[in-house]
Amino acid sequence: MSHRSYPAAIVATIVLLDRLTKWWIIANFSASDMHTILPGVFNIVHAENPGAAFGVFSQGHPALRAILLVGISSLVLMFVGKLLWTAPNPATPEPPLLRAALALVFGGALGNMIDRVFRGEVTDFIQVFIGAYEFPAFNVADSAITVGAVLLIGGLARTEMLRRRTS
């Protein structure tokens, strides 16, 4: 599999899962509906978020908010896309996990940007509790971004540890 097809498959899968799950929530749940799956642990909700992660910027002027959020998303997509599109250097092999992590971030950012561009808000539907703490509702795209970021941080930390051992 080429250096581009592996991440492209991940991006396509994330965007497809994100679109399908959001479509299903919009079609089957009224705004603010909540269905308990595991009491005190996990609910399915229908929340529309006009802002960024955790509702940041949700109270701002709609036009300014749209320009800012779509602009930031576009910059992230361009930066991560460039990293994914560029062929790895044969002299310094790149772990496949790094490309997968970047593809997860790209797919998640693209999924949420599609909502922002065409609907002006992002559909969130997963609600998780840990003890008394309630996480803000999120979606497949948010999950992909988070998992991708954690994998990137872990991969960078591992690379740094290996570099220090060999120095």
What distance in Å separates the CA atoms of residue 111 and residue 144, rounded to the nearest whole number?
10
Distance between CA 86 and CA 153 in Å, rounded? Answer: 20
Interatomic CA distance for residues 120 and 129, integer angstroms = 27
Contact predicate 96/60, CB 8 Å: no
By the 8 A CB rule, do 48 and 123 touch? yes
Alpha helices in the chain (DSSP H): 5-28, 62-85, 96-119, 140-166
Residue 3, token pair as written in the block = 């250096």
Instruction: Answer yes or no: 124 catalytic.
Output: yes
> CA-CA distance, 55 to 29, in Å (whole number)?
20
Whether 6 and 86 have beta carbons less than 8 Å apart is answered as: no
115 labelled catalytic: no
Catalytic residue among 18, 33, 115, 142: 142
Catalytic site residues?
124, 142
